[in-house]
Amino acid sequence: MQFRLLASDNKTKARCGEITTNHGLIPTPAFMPVGTQATVKTLTPLQLQETEAHALLCNAYHLYLRPGHEVVKKLGGLHKFMKWDRSIITDSGGYQVFSLERLTKVTDDGVEFQSPIDGSRRFLNPEIVMDIQHALGADIIMAFDECLPYPCEKDRVRQSMYRTVKWANRCLKAHNSDDQELFAIVQGSVFKDIREECTDRLVEMEFNGYAIGGLSVGEGNLLMNEVLEYTTPRLPENKPRYLMGVGFPLDILDGIEHGIDLFDCVIPTRNGRNGCAFTSNGKLKIRNSCYKTDERPIDKNCHCYACKNFSRAYIRHLLTSNEILGLSLMSLHNICFFENMMKKARQSIIEGNFLNFKSKFLSLQ
């Protein structure tokens, strides 16, 4: 992997660059649609390419449970399996496994739990998680971490951070693939001293890139910004920074302002399927009866397939009739909206007017 910085904003920490993996170039700052089970729900790989998404996030935990990482490996790895020839990141499963109700036991060695799919007893630890991600074959893989809910007692957060650091070290030792880059995940909830210690310990270990985890878990935009304010500057400038699970346009543009390079979130696809369209004039609830005979596109400033071919009335009809095409058109439009926002943000950083772009963009949201 290569990471090249192309421009830095002189009024903020925003920066524009390029991550090059074995599956092409990711212009940064970049937004990654989420393809949890090796698919971005309701969209074909060709449709996804048309959104100009350059990377996807797939989920190692879910793919380990079904169809199994060995199955994916046998079938040629994730890129071939899902026919996506651009970059893929897999998250390690820490986030998913710790949000399970049926989480039976957590020790410093790993996590024992019951599969929500077939009830079988399962065990994950850093070495197993690395085997899983090596088998899936993503271009960028994540260290196994413990992501705590928000809020959480400071002592619990500190103990969890030490576990995340130990697990990151075990992942580094188990990482034996030259074709895949390993990113560590910084934890520490909303406690400055714990976040700073976690960041410094992980930076000492020299990963290929660094994710900031434990955010977008209900802490809110203000606390997210506080954490980014003191965490991001401690990360190496010459390596990619990835803010996991973020977010709404406001959160993403705030993250860019702090110098974040990569984002992923289910918001455009999940909210799209629920009838919420992002547009250049704010959110639009397409199921609203006021759109029943509205012949306009979702967004007149959008050039996506949905906006070029269909009316708000038609898409509303599809959704109210539970037609699958409605889900697909809304997902397609929202991903195009996010990717277009990222393209404009990158351009504004190069032109030296990111803050003007950000305030104008958000004033219309």
Ligand X SMILES: Nc1cc(N)c2c(=O)[nH][nH]c(=O)c2c1
Q: Does 349 bind ligand X (CB under 6 A)?
A: no
Gap between the terminal Cα atoms of the chain? 35
Question: Applying CB under 6 A, which part among 90-98, 226-234, 273-281, 304-312 lies near ligand X?
Answer: 90-98
Name the packing angle between helices 249-257 and 354-363 (round to 10°). Answer: 170
**Minimum distance of ligand X from residue 54's CB (angstroms):** 19
Number of residues that bind ligand X (CB under 6 A): 13
Q: Does 251 bind ligand X (CB under 6 A)?
A: no
Q: Does 95 bind ligand X (CB under 6 A)?
A: yes
Do residues 354 and 257 make contact, with C-beta atoms less than 8 angstroms apart?
A: yes
Rounded Cα gap, residues 74 and 136, in angstroms: 10
**Minimum distance of ligand X from residue 134's CB (angstroms):** 17
Determine whether 91 is an active site residue.
Answer: yes
**Minimum distance of ligand X from residue 144's CB (angstroms):** 9
Which residue, 148 or 319, is less far from ligand X as judged by CB? 148
Rounded Cα gap, residues 355 and 156, in angstroms: 38
Do residues 245 and 265 make contact, with C-beta atoms less than 8 angstroms apart?
A: yes
Asked whether residue 290 is marked as a ligand-binding residue, the answer is no
Asked whether residue 92 is marked as a ligand-binding residue, the answer is yes
Work out the number of other CB atoms within 10 angstroms of the CB of residue 277.
Answer: 25
Asked whether residue 91 is marked as a ligand-binding residue, the answer is yes
Contacting residue, 48, 168, 244, 253, with ligand X by CB under 6 A: 244
Burial class (CB in 10 A: 0-12, 13-18, 19+), 108: exposed
SS3 readout for 270-311? HHHHCCEEEEECEEEECCCHHHCCCCCCCCCCCCCHHHHHCC
Determine whether 109 is an active site residue.
Answer: no
Which residue, 14 or 97, is less far from ligand X as judged by CB? 97
Catalytic residue among 254, 261, 264, 299: 264
Contacting residue, 17, 77, 94, 297, with ligand X by CB under 6 A: 94
Which stretch of DSSP H or E encloses residue 27? strand 24-28
Do residues 94 and 146 make contact, with C-beta atoms less than 8 angstroms apart?
A: yes
**Minimum distance of ligand X from residue 142's CB (angstroms):** 6
Rounded Cα gap, residues 140 and 351, in angstroms: 30
Q: Which residues are CB-contacts of 166 (< 8 A; sequence separation ≥ 6)? A: 108
Q: Does 190 bind ligand X (CB under 6 A)?
A: no
**Minimum distance of ligand X from residue 226's CB (angstroms):** 16
Site track for ligand X across 137-166, x = CB under 6 A: --------x-x-------------------
Which residue, 215 or 256, is less far from ligand X as judged by CB? 215
**Minimum distance of ligand X from residue 294's CB (angstroms):** 35
Catalytic residue among 91, 139, 251, 254: 91
Closest CA to 237 of 13, 76, 28, 82: 13
Closest CA to 65 of 120, 2, 14, 11: 120
Query: Which parts of 194-233 interact with ligand X (CB under 6 A)?
Result: 213-217
Do residues 37 and 96 make contact, with C-beta atoms less than 8 angstroms apart?
A: no
The binding site for Zn(2+) comprises 302, 304, 307, 333
The binding site for substrate comprises 91-95, 145, 187, 214
Residues in contact with ligand X by CB under 6 A are: 91, 94-95, 145, 147, 185, 213-217, 244-245
The binding site comprises 91-95, 145, 187, 214, 302, 304, 307, 333
Residues labelled as active-site residues: 91, 264
